Amino acid sequence: MQALVYQGPGKFALEDKPKPALRAATDAIVRVTKTTICGTELHILKGDLPAVTAGRILGHEGVGVVDQLGAGVSSFKVGDHVLISCVSSCGRCENCKKGMYSHCQNDGGWILGNLIDGTQAEFVRIPFADNSLYPIPAGADEEDFVMLSDILPTGFECGVLNGQVKPGDTVAIVGAGPIGLAALLTAQFYSPAAIILVDTDDNRLAVAKKFGATEIVNNGGGQAAERVMALTSGRGVDVAMEAIGIPPSFDICQSIVTAGGHIANIGVHGKPVQLNLDKLWDHNITLTTRLVDTVTIPMLMKTVTSRKVQPKQLITHRFTLSETMKAYDTFGNAMRERALKVMIRND
């Protein structure tokens, strides 16, 4: 089968690989019909995640059709149309019973495209299939559901829920990439009074405005914090979400959060950041971090099916699996290509 294979920092290629085989009774083999590229893959290619070793098939998002099932899988049958969660969970360990699937104690968590081969391939092995796959309703749009593998629950769980967005809040999201825009779409479930999007890309900021941002701030001159404080009459924001994963964006969040506010980190950080406790120690700030657990996928599936939210709006480019290298070039040069999410179709 064809698969996108990581070969070490800065190196990757489309290769022929063996079709995966069942390894445990709880496994499923899924024929991937659509997948996509996440910003996390760009971090992997930069060498930010050393646990990902050369030879790994990348990707942790997708939809497909069940091709094979282990004897212990009871919730699915061959031929079922399924959504693949980016997080694999046994559903039985102490952490999974708390809903903390990302820290499954039975070798689950974020393993796809990380510790085991992922979804940017014709087929993928899914451990703990009963708790890591979700049936797609008949007639549903596959492109909407690919966005439910990772980015929509990530923006919602790590940003909106951790940030405790409430009606009337003023929210700032630093980073208008796909994850920041997913946080923007789902923050509106709670009717905040204002949502400010910060980025350096005018195209992404224009998309944010279209998706419901009340204010946009271009940080091209490095004055984002000052501009956000001016927009809030010097008060700052109730919730500041970091949606990029670099020290300067985390610094902006620290500078704009108001007393009693929340800083919700979403971004994947490959380098340390400075925590300015000398300024924040007496501000009653709550700082949260989280790896998405995907526990909200069932609820988000209902909102998508009812058309309350349409995450396929985030897709800007479409490719076939054989064009995956071109897809990476497009996604990796998002500003030049005016790219958000890229869809990869397996023919």
What does the angle CA 288 – CA 289 – CA 294 come to, to the nearest 5 degrees? 115
Where residue 270 falls among pLDDT bands split at 50, 70, 90?
confident
pLDDT greater than 90 at residue 7: yes
- CATH 3.90.180.10 maps onto the chain at 2-150+293-345
The Cα–Cα gap between 79 and 68 comes to: 9
pLDDT greater than 90 at residue 122: yes
Tokens 């439910």 sit at which residue?
148
Instruction: Judge contact between 312 and 287, C-beta under 8 A.
Output: no
Q: Tell me the whole-structure pTM to 2 decimals.
A: 0.95
Where residue 212 falls among pLDDT bands split at 50, 70, 90?
very high
Strand, coil or helix: 35? strand
CA distances from 268 to 37, 38, 43, 48, 179 (A): 15, 11, 8, 9, 11
pLDDT digits (tens, 9 = 90+) for 15-51: 999 999 999 999 999 999 999 999 999 989 988 889 9
Instruction: Judge contact between 290 and 146, C-beta under 8 A.
Output: no
Tokens 């061959």 sit at which residue?
78
- Given 3-state DSSP classes, what are the helix, strand and coil percentages for the chain, each rounded to the nearest 5? 30, 25, 45
Q: What is the pLDDT of residue 48?
A: 85
Q: What is the pLDDT of residue 135?
A: 98
Tokens, residue 21:
């085989």
Instruction: Judge contact between 176 and 201, C-beta under 8 A.
Output: yes
* Cross-strand partners of 126: 28
- CATH 3.40.50.720 maps onto the chain at 153-288
Tokens, residue 114:
């990380």
| Overall CATH class of domain 2-150+293-345 | alpha beta
- Calculate helix-pair angle for 224-231, 247-256, nearest 10 degrees: 30
Percent of the chain whose pLDDT exceeds 70: 100
pLDDT greater than 90 at residue 163: yes
Percent of the chain whose pLDDT exceeds 90: 95
For the domain spanning 153-288, the CATH number is 3.40.50.720
pLDDT greater than 90 at residue 347: no
* Cross-strand partners of 69: 28
pLDDT greater than 90 at residue 168: yes
Instruction: Judge contact between 129 and 73, C-beta under 8 A.
Output: yes
Where residue 89 falls among pLDDT bands split at 50, 70, 90?
very high
Q: What is the pLDDT of residue 291?
A: 95
Tell me the pLDDT of the chain averaged across its residues: 96
The one-letter amino acid at 306:
S
Q: What is the pLDDT of residue 286?
A: 98
User: For 291, how many CA atoms within 13 A lie in the half-sphere containing its CB?
Assistant: 14
